[in-house]
């Protein structure tokens, strides 16, 4: 091959390489513009967030993160007026392997320092200048572990989320029926019955936007948790729901559909009340990118005893301030702290 032919080939190769680079740049730019419109964020934000995260990942030296999860069922109608949180969970994320542990704390647990049930801590936070700090400080005090991030969702948020992911299937060991479930029609029509009957079969149940609220809110289906009733029975169903959701959204079929991810991002960004930022999520995502398939949920249950010598909490014979409550085995919450420290800390 002479020099002239070599130069021609080199020139053609350079043109092809330059064209390929330009084509890739055009495709990437078009994709960024498309994505920025879908999630209503500027292109600069899409570029800067991962760049800043790679430059300084705030969680890179941590082994785990503890979250406070609050379920808010705000009501102001004929049936109820409340801003308390009926769902209270502590979640632990192991950044080494993607494993998640979750414990639900009964809403009726008594807080001796604030002189109230813990489901009233959220309403108290609303008058604080730093509500998330107030929540995390108080639940860190109660559990004896650092709470770093908080997620607050409403009943409507749950309905919208389940609709986005196309419903979810949950397995029940036995049937449960609630004859005293609050009838939503009564709110607008006082002539309608105050209560209605709902039921879920033993085995697999498909939960969608039409029945998810009934599944997570019902607590009158029996006098015991074993029968599916009481707050403890409700807690068990809520934890089973979370487990089913995690299993669904980490599947390959769900993840490869980019429209699902866009919908989830918009839902998270526009509807959920949290101090978990996009940079936080990106930081966690980068750390766990190789652990997606390994992400799993373990439910850790508090032991509820019949007296102060059994379990972490129990129901006393006497009410406090005329309220039915759970109280810790000791007023210093030492046993309670030990439970969380042994399950939610990595040393």
pLDDT along the chain (347 residues), means of 10: 64 70 67 72 82 85 94 65 82 92 93 95 94 97 97 92 93 86 80 87 92 84 45 81 89 86 91 94 88 84 87 87 90 94 88
Asked whether 120 and 126 are in contact (CB, 8 A), the reply is no
Q: Which residues contact 264 (CB under 8 A, 6 or more apart)?
A: 164, 165, 249
Query: At what angle are helices 258-271 and 155-164 packed, to 10 degrees?
Result: 170
**Owner of token pair 């997570």:** 216
**Owner of token pair 């430059």:** 55
DSSP 8-state secondary structure symbol assigned to residue 2: -
Question: 167 exposed, middle or buried (CB, 10 Å; 0-12, 13-18, 19+)?
Answer: middle
As given in the structure block, the two tokens for residue 139 are 């639940």
As given in the structure block, the two tokens for residue 2 are 């002479």
Residue 123 sits at the vertex; the CA angle it makes with 117 and 128, to the nearest 5 degrees, is 120
Q: How many CB atoms lie within 10 A of CB 213?
A: 19
As given in the structure block, the two tokens for residue 199 are 């039921």
What whole-number distance in Å separates Cα of residue 118 and Cα of residue 106? 8
Q: Determine the pLDDT at residue 194.
A: 84
DSSP bridge pairs for 292: none
Q: Report pTM.
A: 0.85
Where along the chain do its domains lie?
Answer: 3-55, 64-344
**Owner of token pair 């400080």:** 137
Q: What CA dihedral angle connects 269, 271, 272 and 278, to 10 degrees?
A: 0
Question: 27 exposed, middle or buried (CB, 10 Å; 0-12, 13-18, 19+)?
Answer: exposed
**Owner of token pair 């995502």:** 285
What whole-number distance in Å separates Cα of residue 85 and Cα of residue 69? 10
Asked whether 93 and 65 are in contact (CB, 8 A), the reply is yes
Q: Determine the pLDDT at residue 3.
A: 60
SS3 290: coil
- CATH fold of 64-344 reads Aminopeptidase (3.40.630)
As given in the structure block, the two tokens for residue 273 are 């009340």
Q: Determine the pLDDT at residue 34.
A: 66
What whole-number distance in Å separates Cα of residue 32 and Cα of residue 5? 40
């Amino acid at each position: 091959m002479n020099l002239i032919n070599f130069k021609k080939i080199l020139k053609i190769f350079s043109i092809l390489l330059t064209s390929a680079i330009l084509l890739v740049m055009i495709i990437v730019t078009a994709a960024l513009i498309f994505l920025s419109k879908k999630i209503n964020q500027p292109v600069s934000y899409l570029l800067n967030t991962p760049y800043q995260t790679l430059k300084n990942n705030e969680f890179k030296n941590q082994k785990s993160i503890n979250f406070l999860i609050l379920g808010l069922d705000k009501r102001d109608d004929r049936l109820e007026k409340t801003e308390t949180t009926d769902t209270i969970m502590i979640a632990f994320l192991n950044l080494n392997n993607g494993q998640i542990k979750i414990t639900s704390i009964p809403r009726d647990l008594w807080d001796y320092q604030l002189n109230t049930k813990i489901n009233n801590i959220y309403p108290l936070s609303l008058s604080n200048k730093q509500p998330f700090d107030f929540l995390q400080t108080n639940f860190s005090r109660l559990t004896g572990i650092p709470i770093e991030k908080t997620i607050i969702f409403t009943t409507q948020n749950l309905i919208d989320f389940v609709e986005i992911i196309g419903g979810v299937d949950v397995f029940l060991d036995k049937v449960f029926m609630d004859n005293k479930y609050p009838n939503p029609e009564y709110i607008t029509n006082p002539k309608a019955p105050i209560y209605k009957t709902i039921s879920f079969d033993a085995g697999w149940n498909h939960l969608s936007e039409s029945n998810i609220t009934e599944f997570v809110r019902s607590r009158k289906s029996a006098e015991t948790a074993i029968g599916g009733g009481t707050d403890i029975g409700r807690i068990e169903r809520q934890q089973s729901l979370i487990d089913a959701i995690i299993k669904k959204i980490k599947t390959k079929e769900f993840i490869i559909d980019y429209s699902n991810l866009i919908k989830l991002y918009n839902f998270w960004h526009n509807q959920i009340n949290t101090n978990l930022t996009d940079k936080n999520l990106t930081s966690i995502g980068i750390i766990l990118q190789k652990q997606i398939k390994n992400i799993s949920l373990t439910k850790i249950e508090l032991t509820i005893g019949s007296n102060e010598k059994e379990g972490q909490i129990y129901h006393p014979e006497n009410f406090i301030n005329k309220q039915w409550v759970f109280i810790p085995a000791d007023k210093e919450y030492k046993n309670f702290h030990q439970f969380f420290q042994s399950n939610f800390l990595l040393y």
